[in-house]
């Protein structure tokens, strides 16, 4: 095990396995580049400039990226010589848009523009904070994810996405600045899809939000409960309200749809007078539905945890409670798990989450034994959250020891814990 030096907030990843030479800062033209590890992207910490510091910079970056993604410009035409500089068309996310439509402001070529890392101030409401942020979430307006995005970044511009994958891509393509996505629910458990996407994409967790969930039974105006023949909602919402629906005397079919607010929108759009939705009170307000019953979740302690994602990590600190999320794997299967857990227990670091997911690139491990024959074992990736900042020496040392036992290790993020108290159902907002 390598003993790490004193903590350094900006170079915490540099301390792990220096002999491997996978990490280490390099400086080029005033930019400090920190390699973020294990074959993944770099984190660029600039000294003075940052893409996205104003709308013009963001638009310019988006246009440059768009031209690299899907360019429909004919390579045989030279814009500089024929006066058609504004005629080339690029496509982003399936939509064609002329560069001239972005109303670009020229950026000086001698100005070094690099994305700067988020800081702790990005997570704290302040005057004008969030007013320039575009925050992606999965669902339609009125979804609980929209409420989580509003709690994470007040006054931000919420951007609904039809899929989790689209929310990830919108941040990577600079269409959105952040994404707020659910990872676990106190009753329904983990949202496995997002754990898989965290590994597939290269975004960083920069914060978390815990949102109490308050379900309501919604229907068109004038509809009473005895008129209903079915209830639609997200599968987890249906499961979380199963006993209450029975107590309400509803002998109805229960059908799953993509999301809660989408169920409310579907009823309103199609004027379904025999159907109710399980969704938030805000969804009822947005889509003109009546609340037939509120607080219909079986357990009042129904909380969903969301993570806040960004292109760059924040700088870990020690002046407030932090949480760190990692993912690792090992060539020799699950036998290494005990050693990994011991690295945290020895340093009195508390784990708040451990999750295993199939190793998609190598789901089966075959072991040949001359005396016992051939055995097949499932291979797993392990996700762990622990209560410590990567600015702390104990956390750095723990990961240095974990790396000795693993074939793959990635830090998904080190970020402030959500310490806001949960309101009681009678006083908290209901999906707002």
- Annotated active-site residue 306? The verdict is yes
Q: Which position among 23, 45, 164, 306 bears the catalytic label?
A: 306
- Scanning the structure block, which residue is given the tokens 């006993």? 243
> Pairing between strand 189-190 and 216-219?
unpaired
Q: Which position among 244, 260, 275, 304 bears the catalytic label?
A: 304
Say how many CA atoms lie within 13 Å of 346 toward its Cβ. 14
> Pairing between strand 253-256 and 230-233?
parallel
> Whole-angstrom Cα distance, residue 4 to residue 347?
13
Tokens (6 digits) for 225: 């409960």
- Annotated active-site residue 322? The verdict is no
Rg (CA), the chain: 25
Tokens (6 digits) for 299: 């357990």
Point out which residues pair with 182 in neighbouring strands: 306
> What is the DSSP code string of 6-74?
S--TT-GGGGS-GGGT----EEETTEEEEE-STT--EEEE-SS--TTSSHHHHHHHHHHHHHHHSB---
> Pairing between strand 230-233 and 275-279?
parallel
∠ Cα 121 212 295 (to 5°) = 150
Q: Which residues are catalytic?
A: 304, 306
């Amino acid at each position: 095990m390598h003993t790490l030096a004193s903590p350094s907030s900006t170079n915490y990843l540099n301390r792990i396995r220096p002999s491997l030479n996978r990490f280490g800062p390099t400086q080029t033209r005033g930019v400090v580049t920190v390699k973020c590890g294990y074959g993944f992207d770099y984190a660029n910490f600039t000294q003075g400039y940052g893409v996205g510091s104003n709308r013009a910079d963001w638009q310019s970056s988006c246009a440059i990226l768009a031209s690299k993604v899907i360019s429909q410009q004919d390579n045989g035409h030279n814009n500089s010589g024929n006066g058609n500089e504004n005629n080339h068309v690029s496509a982003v996310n399936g939509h064609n848009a002329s560069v001239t439509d972005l109303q670009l402001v020229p950026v000086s070529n001698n100005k070094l523009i690099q994305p700067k890392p988020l800081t702790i101030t990005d997570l704290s409401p302040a005057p004008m904070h969030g007013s320039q942020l575009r925050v992606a979430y999965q669902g339609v307006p009125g979804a609980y994810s929209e409420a989580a995005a509003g709690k994470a970044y007040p006054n931000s511009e919420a951007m609904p996405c039809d899929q989790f994958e689209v929310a990830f891509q919108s941040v990577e393509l600079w269409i959105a600045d952040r994404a707020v996505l659910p990872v676990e629910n106190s009753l329904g458990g983990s949202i496995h899809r997002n754990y898989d996407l965290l590994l597939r994409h290269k975004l960083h967790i920069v914060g978390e939000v815990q949102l109490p969930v308050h379900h309501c039974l919604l229907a068109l105006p004038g509809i009473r409960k005895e008129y209903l023949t079915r209830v639609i909602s997200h599968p987890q919402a249906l499961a979380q309200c199963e006993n209450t629906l029975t107590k309400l005397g509803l002998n109805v079919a229960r059908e799953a749809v993509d999301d809660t607010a989408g169920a409310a929108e579907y009823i309103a759009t199609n004027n379904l007078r025999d159907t109710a939705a399980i969704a938030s009170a805000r969804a009822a307000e947005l889509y003109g539905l009546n609340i037939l019953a509120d607080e219909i979740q079986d357990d009042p302690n129904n909380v969903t945890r969301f993570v806040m994602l960004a292109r760059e990590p924040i700088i870990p600190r020690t002046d407030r409670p932090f949480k760190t999320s990692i993912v690792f794997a090992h060539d020799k299967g699950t036998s290494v798990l005990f050693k990994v857990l011991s690295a945290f227990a020895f340093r009195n670091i508390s784990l708040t989450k451990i999750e295993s997911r199939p190793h998609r690139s190598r789901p089966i491990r075959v072991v040949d034994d001359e005396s016992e024959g051939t055995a097949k074992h499932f291979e797993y990736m392990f996700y762990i959250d622990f209560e410590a900042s990567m600015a702390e020496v104990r956390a750095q040392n723990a990961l240095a020891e974990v790396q000795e036992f693993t074939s793959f290790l990635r830090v998904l993020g080190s970020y402030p814990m959500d310490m806001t108290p949960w309101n009681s159902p009678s006083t908290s907002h209901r999906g707002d």
